[in-house]
Amino acid sequence: MSYTIPIGPYHPALEEPYKLELVCEGETVREAQLQIGFNFRAIELIAQSRNVIQNIALFERVCGICSNVHTLTYCLAVENLLGIEPPLRAQYIRVIVAELERLHSHILWAGAAAHILGFQTLFMTCFRLREIVMDLLERISGNRVNYAMNAVGGVNRDLTEPQTIRDGIRQIQKAVEGLILPVFSRDPTVRARCAGVGILTKSDAIAWGVVGPTARASGVTQDIRQAQPYLVYDRLTFSVPLQESGDVLARVLVRAMEMVESCQIIEQALDQLPGGEWKGQLFVELPPGEAVARIEAPRGEVFYYLASDGSEKPLRVKVRTPSFVNMPAVRLMLKGATLADAPLIQASIDPCYSCTDR
C-alpha cells in the first residue's frame, strides 16, 4: 500500500517555500514530485522598466547567498554587448570577491548539512568559519550580505587590505583541511548517513543537465572557470574536485575540497594583484544587440542573456540559475531512499528556491 506525504510548501525551519510530494511504500520513497513557484518576484520583468545601471542593484537581490554572482554575470553580459574589458586590477578584485562568496556559500551549506545530520558541534564550527568570511567581505565592501561590488567596466571599491584577507583565508583553509574535510570524509556517523544515499549516476547527471558540485560529485568534469575561462581564471592554477559515487557523501566532499581550492585561488590572486585603475566609465544606454555571459557560481553555472534595442532600458534579461536545472534531479535521488533520508537528499544539491523563482 502506497501513501503520499506532502512536505511543505511552508516549513517551520526553512525560510523559502517549496513543496515535495513523496509517494511511499512503508518507509521507502517510490516517487517524488517537486513544486516551486511560491516565491515569484518578477525580477526579469522589472528589469525591463529600469535602466542598465539600476538593474545592477535589482539583480543583486536575485539570491541572498550569491548576490555577487548575479551582478557579476549581469555586468559581464553588459560589457560583452559594449565590447569593453574592465581594468586588470578590477578583474582580480572580482575573482577574490567571487571566491570569498563561494567559500561563504559552501561553508554555510556544510553547516546546514551538519545540522540535518544532527551533528551540532560541526554545525557551530562551520558557522564560526562563516563569520570569518563575512567579516572579510565586510572589510572589502562594507556589507556582510549584498556587497554592491560590481559596476559595468570595473568595481565600486578598491581592495585596500590584502594582508587581512590573506590571514583570514589561511585560517579558514587550516580549519577546512584539519577539521571539516576529515570529519566529513572519515566520521562513521557521517558516512552511515551519507554514503550510498541519494545516488545520481554520471549518465543521469549528463542526461538531466545538472551543473556545479552536484554534477562533479557524479563524475562530470565541468567547471566554467576552466572550460570557458572568464576574468583572470586562466592565469590561476587550481584543480576541479571530482567524485564518482554520486551520493550525498560525494556532494559533501566536493564542496569541502572546493573550499580549499577557493582559498588557494584567493592567495594567488592576492599575489598577482596589479596596481592601476579599478573603476569603470559611467554610462546609461546600450547599443542595439544581444549578449550572453555565464560563470561558475557556488551551485553551478549561472547564465544571463541580455537583449537591447538601443534605449537605456534592456529589451530583455533572461536568467538561468543552477538550482533550476539541479532541482529536477532530486526526483531520481529520492527513488528507493528511506523517508528519513529525504530531507538530507534534497538539501544535498544546496537548492535555492528564491533565485529559481525570482
Can you give the pLDDT of all 358 residues of the chain as single tens digits?
688 888 777 765 566 677 788 888 888 888 888 887 777 888 889 999 999 999 999 999 888 788 899 999 999 999 999 999 999 999 999 999 999 999 999 999 999 888 888 888 888 999 999 999 999 999 999 988 889 999 999 999 999 999 999 999 999 999 999 988 999 888 898 888 889 898 999 999 999 999 999 999 999 998 999 999 999 999 999 999 999 999 999 999 999 999 999 999 999 999 999 999 998 777 667 899 999 999 999 999 999 999 999 888 999 999 999 988 998 898 999 988 888 888 888 888 888 877 777 7
In 3D space, the residue among 278, 280, 284, 279 whose CA is nearest the CA of residue 54 turns out to be 284
**Residue 244, CA atoms < 13 Å, CB-side half-sphere:** 0
Would you tell me how many other CB atoms lie within 10 Å of the CB of residue 214? 31
In 3D space, the residue among 187, 194, 209 whose CA is nearest the CA of residue 321 turns out to be 209
- For position 4, what pLDDT does the model report? 86
- For position 137, what pLDDT does the model report? 94
Q: Contact, 288 vs 282, CB < 8 A? A: no
- For position 171, what pLDDT does the model report? 95
- For position 113, what pLDDT does the model report? 87
Q: Is the dihedral of CA 296, 302, 305, 311 positive or negative?
A: negative
- For position 73, what pLDDT does the model report? 96
Q: Is 279 helix (H, G, I), strand (E, B) or coil?
A: coil
- For position 224, what pLDDT does the model report? 95
In 3D space, the residue among 292, 303, 308, 293 whose CA is nearest the CA of residue 51 turns out to be 308
DSSP one-letter code for 157: S
Q: What is the pTM of this model?
A: 0.93
DSSP string, 281-336: PP-----SEEEEEEEEETTEEEEEEEEE-SSSS-SEEEEE-HHHHHGGGHHHHHTT
Q: Is 129 helix (H, G, I), strand (E, B) or coil?
A: helix
- For position 119, what pLDDT does the model report? 87
Q: Contact, 155 vs 149, CB < 8 A? A: yes
Q: Contact, 73 vs 317, CB < 8 A? A: no
Residue 9, Cβ density class (10 Å: 0-12 exposed, 13-18 middle, ≥19 buried): middle
- For position 284, what pLDDT does the model report? 63
Grid cell, residue 208, equals 538531466
